[in-house]
Amino acid sequence: MAGAAPRVRYMAGFRCPLGGLAASKPRVLCHEAEVFLSTGRELVYVYDQEGGLLTAAFRFPDQVRHLELLAPRRLLYALCARRGLYCLSPDRPGRSRSTSQDDGDSEDSDQPCPVIPVDPDACVLPDAALCAFTVLDSVLVTLVQGPARWKMQLFERPSPGEDARPGGQIGEVELSTYTPPAGVPGKPAAPHFLPVLCCVSPSGSRVPHDLGGSGGFSLEDALFGLLFGADATLLQSPVVLCGLPDGQLCCVILKALVTSSSAPGDPNGLVKILHHLEEPVIFIGALKTEPPAAEAAENLLPDEDVHSDCLVALGHQGRMLAIKASWDESGKLVPELREYHLPGPVLCAACGGGGLVYYSTPSDLFVVDLSRGSTPLSAEQPDEGPGGLPPMLCPASLNICSAVSLSVSPRMQEGGTELLALSAKGRLLTCTLDLESEMPGSARMTAESAGRKIKELLSGIGNISERVSFLKKAVDQRNKALTSLNEAMNVSCALLSSGAGPRPISCTTSTTWSRLQTQDVLMATCVLENRSDFSLDQGWTLCIQVLTSSRALDLDSACSAITYTIPVDRLGPGTRREVTLPLGPGEDGGLDLPVTVSCTLFYSLREVVGGALAPSDSEDPFLDECPSDVLPEQEGVCLPLSRYTVDMLQCLRFPGLAPPHTRAPSPLGPPSDPVATFLESCREPGGQPAGPTSLRAEYLPPSVASIKVSAELLRAALEDGHSGVPLCCATLQWLLAENAAVDVVRARALSSVQGVAPDGADVHLIVREVAMTDICPAGPIQAVEIQMESSSLADMCRAHHAIIGRMQTMVTEQAAQGSSAPDLRVQYLRQIHANHETLLREVQTLRDRLCTEDEASSCATAQRLLQVYRQLRHPSLVLL
């Protein structure tokens, strides 16, 4: 636009919610020096332009969706959400309840004007489904949202001086069907875009046109007759125009609607659809595009109405409809209808003088010129006849952004106009425009303005291209997320349906000793193998949890554990991934056994789904935000794969079994104390080592425990893989099946072996056959005794625990096959059980005594306690 920028003056500020005011709800009405304003919330303000201050604020019980002022009677009508239609007089606040300066509401807590709560008696038409209305001098027209159709109702307005409540209903008609928005069943939700109602009168009608609100206006007889037909022209009847959220623009002749109740007929014949914008209608107006003749302009009185010759309707996305009477080639008067596409989305609009239409978008306020765009098409009607509409519109920027409500002030200045605007930040502004310099004619477009217009068009093309690219990226992200979700669903179903059979995706764990610098470290190797037809891509993680000592026996324990997370990236069918991690010893040189290694597949829903649904550009006004209830509540899905326990039998090393030429150096124990290292270096050649382990082994007897198992039970459990092998050798091979030295034990057919524990202590395993003579009356029972010896009590206990665990598993499996036990001497078993109960009670007594005795007495108690433990570790029972 050529010329200087419009002069903008700040008038007042109003509190607004975070994110600014929403479009289509705020309203600004101007009558003489007063401005009536609603921000779409509960308050309606009255602002005095001459005094420059707020004079009053009316509080309604709910959000105000629409305002109209019946100017001749000074009545303000307000549509209150979920309540109905209210009517009050701004000059008589006494109808409302007591006035307060501040009642604690956040919207008006800092307003300097009095806040007047509106009395419930001011509700003249209670109806929660009421969505729009317009007021004439004698009738009230409403639009109600039904279950599936819009319903237009006509009420009789009272005469001046009577109660403001409308009289009885004098007409009703249903409009087109619509798809109701999602809401509570049986209770339709409020539409996002409200319908638009306005009243149109012919130029000869006596209906007053200064109605305020969305405004009634009059059209020239030629255009009125072409649009609404001969019936409306002959009846001199006002016509109600209705713009619906689905884009329909329809009309109803009021007098025909009134007479339809007394003369039944086809109700659909009362509704005429003028056009379909295919997007929500947000504004309907009219303007004068033809300049008045010189003689007519001189005779025009100041208060005389100017009849419009062009009807305008705007859609939310920028589609604009203009209808005007024009001459065709045969000299016949016909309606000329043109559609224009303007930059959107459109928030609000207003019609001004000189054929100008003002409309606001989130980024700017524009003006377009609909004044005479071409010469008359008929030579017989030169300049006296109506001209045509311009073939295209060039929006000119006014450099005012985010206006959510517009109104043309009646205080017109010579050669200019004044706009009242409410911004998204809640500021009331006046914009004074100089029409002569701001809006040059299209025929006088200069090279500078043409270049600027080209830049604007190129900028619009660039914005659209960027928007298309952004949407394409968002669609690709969601398609990728859907593909990943489908793969995750297939993998989950395959794993959960495999049962006890081979799993399509498995994780096997094995252990081995490795030398790292000067210390031997037990390493666990986990192999994730994909034997399914699906791929593990984005969002999959392999979680390996290591639980040590007593924590490994109780997964519900609150104790901490070490968890390793390894992202799984592109593990296709038939491929595997290997992960190696240390199990110990720790910094103190100890290795708490047993150690349990649990492998789990984790699929992150937040990573895959949340990243695709959440908008990546929150500043984009066109991108709908994702509802919070759509995002997944859980972080992800866990699929257990395996659980592997590492005990003493797997960690034992046997340096003496290696061949002489391949024998590795002896395993290193925990890092020794520097003083002990010095004493060891000073020892004479051939002398005995002086370490704590060696001293314990030399001067203290080894700790011993034994387990007896029925030979018949062992033969039944080991017959598959150990046929032809002596039972003692087969038993030792079975116990060391997961140890790296099992092949040497099998090759040498050993029944006893001496190994080294992780801390360097010796552990001796001896397997021999014995006969149990006192248990069965039929004769001796052949059994296998497994004996464990170690200079370290802790290592002996760990080996004992490992062997008992294997025995429990074997007994459970054999019991499931229906094995039966021989006849036993019950009295002998009871005696053994009683002896064990006596020993256990003695253990409890000795432990209690240790807590109270002095150091001298406690030595004897401790020795007795060790003797009792030794007896308990050699039970006279056998596993059958």
Q: Output the pLDDT for position 439.
A: 53
Q: Output the pLDDT for position 594.
A: 87
pLDDT at residue 805 tops 70: yes
Q: Which structure tokens are listed for 818? A: 């229906």
pLDDT at residue 557 tops 80: no
pLDDT tens-place string over residues 498-510 = 776 788 899 999 9
pLDDT at residue 599 tops 90: yes
The residues facing 643 across adjacent strands are 598
Q: Output the pLDDT for position 786.
A: 92
- Top pLDDT among 108 and 85 is at 85
Average pLDDT over the chain reads: 79
> Residue 260: exposed, middle, or buried by beta-carbon count in 10 A (0-12, 13-18, 19+)?
buried
Give the domain 7-14+25-91+113-177+191-293+305-372+388-433 fold. Answer: Methylamine Dehydrogenase; Chain H (2.130.10)
Q: Average the pLDDT over 405-416 and give the result.
A: 77
pLDDT tens-place string over residues 7-43 = 788 888 887 776 667 766 789 998 888 899 998 889 9
Q: Output the pLDDT for position 821.
A: 66
Q: Output the pLDDT for position 59.
A: 93
Q: Output the pLDDT for position 190.
A: 58
pLDDT tens-place string over residues 129-182 = 899 999 887 889 999 988 888 999 999 877 655 666 777 788 889 887 776 655
**Least confident interval from 457-461, 558-562, 593-597:** 558-562
Of 877, 855, 13, 819, the residue nearest 428 (C-alpha) = 13
Q: Output the pLDDT for position 157.
A: 77
Strand residue runs (E) in 774-870: 781-790
- Top pLDDT among 861 and 93 is at 861
This model's pTM is above 0.85: no
Q: Output the pLDDT for position 348.
A: 93
Q: Average the pLDDT over 545-550 and give the result.
A: 80
How far, in Å, CA of 163 to CA of 779, rounded? 116
Q: What is the CATH number of domain 505-613+633-646?
A: 2.60.40
Q: Average the pLDDT over 833-851 and give the result.
A: 84
Cα–Cα separations (whole angstroms), residue 870 to 359, 628, 697, 701: 97, 65, 17, 11
Q: Average the pLDDT over 365-388 and give the result.
A: 61
Other beta carbons within 10 angstroms of residue 409's beta carbon come to 19
pLDDT tens-place string over residues 319-369 = 999 999 988 888 888 999 999 999 989 999 999 888 899 999 998 999 999
pLDDT at residue 832 tops 90: no
pLDDT tens-place string over residues 170-206 = 888 988 777 665 555 555 555 678 899 999 998 876 5
Q: Output the pLDDT for position 386.
A: 57
pLDDT tens-place string over residues 768-778 = 998 887 777 77
pLDDT at residue 376 tops 90: no
Q: Average the pLDDT over 791-806 and give the result.
A: 89
Q: Average the pLDDT over 689-704 and give the result.
A: 61
Q: Output the pLDDT for position 273.
A: 92
Q: Output the pLDDT for position 86.
A: 94
- Mapping DSSP onto H, E and C, the string for 221-244 reads HHHHHHHHHHHHHHHCCCEEEEEC
Cα–Cα separations (whole angstroms), residue 32 to 35, 351, 628: 8, 18, 47
Q: Output the pLDDT for position 374.
A: 44
pLDDT at residue 84 tops 90: yes
How far, in Å, CA of 675 to CA of 681, rounded? 10
pLDDT at residue 797 tops 80: yes
Pairing of strands 519-530, 7-13: unpaired
